[in-house]
Amino acid sequence: MPKHDPRVNVSRPDGRPEAYDLPPHIEESVCEVCCQEGHTARFPRGKVVMASPIDTSDGHLHFVCVEKHVPDNIVIFDPKTGLCRDKTGQNVWKE
């Protein structure tokens, strides 16, 4: 059975990949790609994102660190505030 690849691959209508901030009840998580590489550091909210919960092939949430394992053109949506931001967090907007 092939290994699940949790890297973000959900595309927005404009073609950029999209990810989501952690659900409110989760304050930190490990990055699944880092774990596959042998690292088990936990990342706080804002430093780790999740792939779309409706785009999971196995029914589980998948978390990926922002610094190393999401593309530079990622759009991160925070469902709590309704705001989007880029990878750096310097550009924030509402759609």
pLDDT in tens, 8-28: 455 788 888 899 998 888 899
Is 63 within a domain?
yes
In terms of residue numbers, what domain contains 37? Answer: 18-94
CB 84 within 8 Å of CB 93: yes
What number is the average pLDDT over the span 61-84?
A: 91
Is 10 within a domain?
no
Is 5 within a domain?
no
H-state helical runs in the chain: 32-36, 66-69
What number is the average pLDDT over the span 88-95?
A: 94
pLDDT in tens, 23-56: 888 899 999 899 999 998 899 999 999 976 655 6
User: What local confidence, expressed as pLDDT, does residue 95 receive?
Assistant: 85
Is 71 within a domain?
yes
Q: Is the pTM of this model over 0.85?
A: no
Strand, coil or helix: 37 = coil
Is 35 within a domain?
yes
